[in-house]
Structures are given as C-alpha cells and as structure tokens.
Amino acid sequence: MGEPPPAPRTRPGTFARAWAKAVSGTSYLPMPQAQLEALLQRLTDQLAGALQAEPFDLRPGHRVGAELVANHIASAEGLGRTVEVVQLRLVRDLGLVADDVEDRMARLLAAVATGYARALRDRTLDEQESIRRAVMAARTQAERALRASEARFRHQATHDSLTELPNRALFTERLTAALNEPGRGAERLGLCFLDLDRFKVVNDSLGHQVGDRLLTMVSSRLRRALDGHLVARIGGDEFVVLVERTGGTADVVAVADTALAAVCEPALVDGHELCVTASIGIVEQQVAGTTPGDLMRAADATLHWAKAAGGARWEVYDADRNGRERARYALSAAIPAALDRGEFYLEYQPLTSLRDGRLLGVEALVRWRHPELGVLRPDSFIGLAEETGLIVPLGGWVLAEACREAERWSGRGAPAPFVSVNLAVRQVHRPDLVQEVRALLKRTGLPPERLQLEITESTMMSTTEEPVKALRVLADLGVRIAIDDFGTGYSNLAYLRDLPVTELKVAGEFVAGLRAPAAEPTRRTDERILASLVSLAHALDLTVTAEGVETAGQAERLRAIGCDAGQGWHFGRPAPAERILERIG
C-alpha cells in the first residue's frame, strides 16, 4: 500500500463548512458537497496563510477569487456571501493572531473581490469569444452553403435542364459582353441560328421521349463539333452558336457547315434510325453599331429564309432583302385599317365559253387603292396576308362584296354570269365557313349556283377531313367549287373523284406552251398533256377552264382539245363591275 492520494491538507474545518453552507445555493455547483468543502478548505488555508504572511501579499487573495470563479462559484451573491463569512468568522474560527489583522482582512477581501471580478470578466470574455467564434463559424458555413446553392441556382438559371447547354439568358449575357468589350468595335463577330427541320414530325409521330433524346444527342454533337464556340439551346429545337471572333463571313459559314454535318449524321434513338437536317441563319458583322437584339432578329429572319428555301442549308443575312420583307410586313399590317377606310375594290375578269363565246362567269380579283403606293396588285399583299392570317378579314370582305355586286347582274336578257371568288387555305379551314357563306347568300339574295369558290389543290390535300366536309355541304347547297391553278401542285386527278368539285382551272403555264409554233416538240407535249387532262376531267364530270389565254390561236387550240372555257387577255382583262354590266347588257 502506498501513500493515500493527495488530500486537502486539513480536513474541512468549521469555517470551511460554514463557507460551503453560505455559498451553496447561490449558483449552480457542479460538484458534490464534500468536494466543495474540500475546495473551500484549501482556499481557507490560503487566506489564513495570507493574513499571517510577512510581508503581506495581496496575490493569494486574487488567486482565491479566481479559483472560486473557476469552480463555478461565480455569481454576485456567491461573492457577497463569501466576503460576509470570511469577515465574520475566519479570524475567529481559526483563532488567527496577526498584527493589524483588521486592516489586512479588509485589503485581502478587496483582493479576493478583485480576483473574482477579473476572473469573471475573463470568463465572460471567453464566453463571448466562443460565442463570437461559433457565430463566425455558423456564418461561414451558411455563406458557403449559400454560395453553393447560388452556384447551383445560377447554373439552373443559365442552363437548359434537358441538354445541359447554356440557355438563352447565358447566351445573351455572353453576346452582350462580347459586344461591349472595350476596344473591340472594329472587330467582327458572328451568330449561327440553327433550327432542326421537321422536328415536330419526330415529336408527334415517335413521342416526346424520342424527341427529347434526339435533342440531347444533337446537343452533344454540336458541343463536340463546335468546341471553342458557345453553343446554346434557346428554344424547343432552336440552337444558337456564338462565333466571338471572325475574319469575315467565310469563318461563320465554316462553323455552319460543321454544325449541319454534325446534325445530319444518322442518329439511333430507341431503335429508330433518325435522319434529321437543320436550317441555319447566319449573321456576321462588325461589333460596333449593333445590339444583341438586332443580331438575334437578323439571324432569326435569315433562318426563315433557309427554311423557306427548303431547309438543310444555311443562308447569310442580307440587309436589302430584310428591308424589302419588312416593307411587305408593314404593308400587310396596314390591311385592317385599309379595310376600314374602304381602300380595297374588286375587278372582274370574264370566264368565256369556248363553244359559243358566251360569258359564263367572272373571277373576282382584289385590288388595293393604296394612298401612297397607288393601285396594288394582289401578288404584293395576298401572300403575306395569308401568312399573317389577315386574309381572313380581307377574304371575307371580298366574298361579301362579290356576292353583293353579282346579285345586281341578274334580271337582264342573257343568263346572269356566276362570280368566282378565290378562297385562301385559311378561309377554307375556318369552322364557320359554311355558316358565313350561307348567311351571305341569304343576305345578298345571290342564288348559290351563281357563286363559285376557287381553291388550290394544296387546300384539298389537307390532312384533316373538315375542310372537305365543309366544301361538300356548300356543293350540296349548289355552290360551284373550282380547283385553281390546276397542274402547278400535286396534279393528282385520282383524288378529285372523291371531292365535291365542279370545275378545274388549268394554270396559265400549260396554256402558254400552246403559243409556240405547231412544229415545236414542247408545244406538242403541252397539247397532249392538256388533251388528256381535259378527257380525264370530263370522265369525272368536271368542266375545264384554261387560264392565261392571250391569243386567238391559243383559244382555237383549246377549243379543238375540248376545253370548256377560257380566261385571259384574249377574252378580256380584269375590269370594274360596270364593264361587266356593259357586257351582259
């Protein structure tokens, strides 16, 4: 057995126990009573030693104060009770004898209080410090988390989730930065605006999943092939490539060629071998004097040229062409106001019988008396009105006006001619076409047999059944239906059998061939084509009108072939309604 563990030098005496009793309860004490008494006994010894030491030293007092705080006797009340019990009992309980013990006691207690206060302050500072550190650590962590989520958020905001390519926002940001880079004004840059051809067909026929995979595949091919250029996805199947530095158009054309080659490689998606092509609009120009918006609009317009030219190609932006198209757009946008102001009027062109020269009908042809541009022919505004949909109100006016005027041609000696009105595809596809025509006939009093509707072959070839049903209802009412410009479209006679058609209008191109000398082989071919067309039409109970008849010779050939009627300068140019009245009268 060795020495017992270090123990308090003295067992807790009366004073230490009284002290312990005084302070317990003043603050939370994390130790049992016995341990507290032992501690206070040690401190009692130190205080007693200090009171008697020569020379008198305040430092043990400081230490006692500090130790009390270190042992969590750290409340203001704990100090108060300590001072009280030491002052009242220490000298008496321990039977101390010293010179000027009263004075020493006062200074010693002051030292205890000082040590106590300092320790308490230090501990508070420590606590504050650790709180501050904890706050800092928490803040750093929060900031890091925030930065991580900001980065994630920024990535999401600037990238397309399907393909992971940069999106329009990031593209615009980069383009803006490239345009605003100081000192770059004289340099050039380029854009390729790429759109897949007929992507909708893939989506509609094979499903969106296949469509999505195809887009992902195209994206990664573009990214790989155009390494070094920013490739962004800015819409369903629309991509744009930024060529930040170019030496001229050729550089961007090379990028476009690479992109087209990358896209058109066959792709195996879900067991389907897909061959897609793309169209590209190219803009290449000096950095100075342009904006991201200008560039994107120009590239977009150019993309449409590439599409209109059949796709699978690029086109380069041409400012003059764009100017002309914008003028056309402006013209078409002016149509509603022009309708309100009554700037449109109709001319009528005779449809003449090749058998007896009788006036069978007239075709209504729209004219625009434009306040600045003079009288405009339909070719300059009908096409665009069809694209923009403004053909619906315009065509509606033409139909109503033609019926209104034609009604007045009746009641004279000769049988009144029918009026033949051109209907655009959009008009035929309108669900209320039948109702509109019926109401019109009722309002104007024009008999149905005196109205003919001219529609093109492509309108009839539509994939939906509705337009055909509508035309059948109209035909049943007695309205005549003619196929316009026959021969320029599908020229498929087989489908005519099932359609409610009364008449074929053979396009002027075929008739033009009849002008050539009789010996010329092309003339003989055209004549043979026309002859077989006429006999086929007759077999289907259709009448045939030849368009663009300019000479008596052509009229004679057509009559010999068996053509029923003719239209063209030879019979009469388009003219105002009064002139038609003269011919009837």
Q: Which residue is nearest to ligand C2E (CB)?
A: 568
Nearer to ligand C2E, 91 or 338 (CB): 338
| Interacting residue with Ca ion among 160, 347, 386, 454 (CB under 5 A) | 454
* Residue 395: contacted member of Ca ion, ligand C2E, none (CB under 5 to 8 Å, by partner type): ligand C2E
Q: Work out how close the CB of 546 gets to ligand C2E at its nearest, in angstroms, rounded to a whole number.
A: 10
* Residue 349: contacted member of ligand C2E, Ca ion, none (CB under 5 to 8 Å, by partner type): ligand C2E
398-430 in b/e burial notation, b at 16+ Cβ within 10 A? bbbbbbbbbbebeeeeeebbbbbbbbbebbbeb
Other residues' Cβ atoms within 10 Å of the Cβ of residue 20? 22
Question: Taking the chain, what is the end-to-end CA distance rounded to the nearest angstrom?
Answer: 150
| Interacting residue with Ca ion among 93, 484, 526, 564 (CB under 5 A) | 484
Q: Work out how close the CB of 383 gets to ligand C2E at its nearest, in angstroms, rounded to a whole number.
A: 9
Residues whose CB falls within 8 Å of the CB of residue 444, separated by 6 or more in sequence, listed in order:
400, 403, 404, 406, 407
* Rounded Cα gap, residues 277 and 256, in angstroms: 12
DSSP 123-182: HHHHHHHHHHHHHHHHHHHHHHHHHHHHHHHHHHHHB-TTT--B-HHHHHHHHHHHHH-T
Q: Work out how close the CB of 411 gets to Ca ion at its nearest, in angstroms, rounded to a whole number.
A: 27
* Rounded Cα gap, residues 312 and 198, in angstroms: 10
Q: Work out how close the CB of 224 gets to ligand C2E at its nearest, in angstroms, rounded to a whole number.
A: 48
Q: How many residues bind Ca ion (CB under 5 A)?
A: 4
Nearer to ligand C2E, 405 or 547 (CB): 547
Work out whether 485 is an interface residue with Ca ion (CB under 5 A): yes
Stretch of residues binding Ca ion (CB under 5 A), selected from 154-162, 338-346, 349-357, 449-457? 449-457
Q: What is the DSSP letter of 89?
A: I
Beta bridge pairs of residue 135: none
Q: Work out how close the CB of 525 gets to ligand C2E at its nearest, in angstroms, rounded to a whole number.
A: 21
DSSP 378-398: GGGTHHHHHHHSTHHHHHHHH
Nearer to ligand C2E, 104 or 450 (CB): 450
Nearer to ligand C2E, 251 or 343 (CB): 343
* Residue 366: contacted member of ligand C2E, Ca ion, none (CB under 5 to 8 Å, by partner type): ligand C2E
* Rounded Cα gap, residues 194 and 239, in angstroms: 5
Where do contacts with ligand C2E occur on this chain (CB under 6 A)? 349, 365-366, 377-379, 382, 391, 395, 398, 422, 424, 484-485, 508, 547-550, 567-569, 574
Stretch of residues binding Ca ion (CB under 5 A), selected from 54-62, 162-170, 395-403, 448-456? 448-456
Nearer to ligand C2E, 65 or 467 (CB): 467
DSSP 547-580: ----SHHHHHHHHHHT--EE-STTT---B-HHHH
Q: Which residues bind Ca ion (CB under 5 A)?
A: 422, 454, 484-485
